[in-house]
Structure 1
Amino acid sequence: MKKTSLCIMMLLLCKLSFSELVLNASNLSPSKNEDFNIEVSFLNEDKNKYAIEGIDNFDIISKGSTNSYNSINGKTTSAKSDIYRVRAKSEGKFSLKVRTDKGEEKSIVIDVQKNETINSSLSNRFILKSIIPKNGFYFGEKIPYEEYFISGVRVSSLNIAKSPDFKEFSVKDMTPYSNNNYIQNTVDFNGKQGVQLTLFKGILQANNSGVKKLSSSSLKIGEPTRDFFYENTSYIGGEDIQIEIKALPSDAPHDFKGVVGTLNSLESWKAKEVNVGEAITLTLTLQGSGNLALIDNLPIEENINFNIFQNVKDYNEKIIDGKYFNEKIFEIAFIPKKSGIQKTPSINIP
């Protein structure tokens, strides 16, 4: 009887010795830009209910479960696992602890590295290029903003993990596409041929003055591996960009409409000789970096010699070589009230 009890106790001890809670990470020193796996495994026992303390420091991209069995020298080991694909929200050291309802615990520490090292490695393969012509603008100025993805290696996938954030600006999206695909060009990249995709092209305008912040796109990039079903994943972008929006000077000129920048003008008269009551028409084209959307009507003073009517014939804006450009075409009709040589009033735009 004692032998039987002893055998049963030994079997129980053996079972307990082979039962184990395991917590592993595929990378204990990732960067903010890298995905990695956290695996919770139950060896030789059923999966218990558990919680992971500290998991809120990571974004959970996906979760999967596996069951596996191994037999070595007649000994069979079973493993029931949950696999979490995660990415760190910030840099620093974070402790992860798995605690089961039965009181079992396992801990590991994830040391999330600063981005500089990984970014240096990634920048030799691909970059996200954000372009703003300067860091300071006056309130009312239009701000051109462009984003390009440039790669010198073969990429198996490219996804926008997070679109650019323009919460302190109004935005006009002017991104060009070709059959719903990004425009692609061949460029020089680190001394070799690379591929450039135009991800975003648009015009921003600050809602008020002060130091403003926008965030660039965050890209998820997959690079092919020898395993057809797996790719190496990296993240780039998501950087904050500060822009100073300066208040307009208090000593603005009379009739100032808030137009800051440079303007050129082109004029074309339809005729210079008409009968009394007929219109002499001027087509005036204004163009440059000044925000012409602020000018609805040209500042033309009332004149005793003419009845004057004006309207906007056309308006367009674009980004040329990284700089903002707009053009507005006015049509002004001067109708003489009396005969003789008359001088049309001047048009001055402060």
Structure 2
Amino acid sequence: MHAELARRLDTTDAIRAAFADHPRHRFIPDLVWPDIQGLPLIRSAAPARWASYIYGDDAVVTQANDGRGGPVNEPSSSSSAPQLMADMIAAARVGPGTRVLEIGTGTGWNAAILSSLAGPTGAVTSLEIDPGIAEHARTRLKDTPVELVHGTVPPEGSAFDAAIATCAASRIPREWIERVEPEGRIVLPWGPYPGSHSTPVVALSRVGAEKVTGRFVCEAYFMRDRTQRVPKGEFPGMGRDAESTRVVPFTPADLIEDDRLTRVMLMLPGVRIGVGMRPFSGDLGFIVHMGAPDASWAYLWPDGSVHQGGATPLADLLRRAHDLLADHGWPPLRDFSLQAGVADATYRVSTGFGAWEHRV
């Protein structure tokens, strides 16, 4: 099953061979969560189903609620989707001799693959904040040269040619940038605010002491860096009557298709965007909800109607971003770039027809 997984990857021969070196089942814990709202799947109880799940093409949830119980399960650690791993490794340009910093060891599978690619002249240092996950990964990586650090800060005096984060960030920590050599690559899932609708992967190059710039690589949905989590709160406008209503010529399904909503999100600084399901016309339908810093809110319903409240005209902002993208033929995500300045917390998204400044 593992050989077939490696063969399915759309990537270079070198990356495919590194995957083949490290079967996924050696790194995945016995207890996994195919349905995060259901019961966990235990390997000994259903070995065939367990193997089928972990050798699929999707991410495998390996921990819920930071390892604690709770009334509602929230995924807190996972093994990323193999193709996404391969895409991020390729974007980081990891090869023989590369010194790699990984942020978020997880199961250890990605670190092992990176180690094979870096070879004996390279090195991999992997950071893991969760002590239980770090201990699990340490046992799985014992036959590799990976340096596993329990914590969030790279070892003092260390320097790297590339960094790969397996958790989403809005603020790129100074330590990640400072420890990467000039012109080195930093590949991470980025969203303009905690709880972003999506966290597209961006491949950045260091320019100067405190700036990075680069293009977005692909769509992704990663768990948040635990140091940047924020408490979940009620979304603005929940349960309130609309102060005004608009109708737009598109629906939530239109925006979700082909990940168009991510490009809209990048063009709306300060606007929180999320997706949910609500009863509508006797069935469940997608909605898009938006919130602004001044507590303005808006909901786009399956029929294209927008109910909103507050001083910020969110329906108009949404329509403007949608129409601008449509006028330019819905350019792909890779046509968008990000420039980040750590000192002033400014993140500038740009493409051929505009630029938008996010402050995080």
- Normalised to the residue count of structure 2, the TM-score between the two structures is 0.19
Higher relative contact order (CA 8 A, sep 6+): 1
Which one has the largest radius of gyration?
A: 1
Which has the larger helix fraction? 2
- Normalised to the residue count of structure 1, the TM-score between the two structures is 0.20
Which has the larger strand fraction? 1
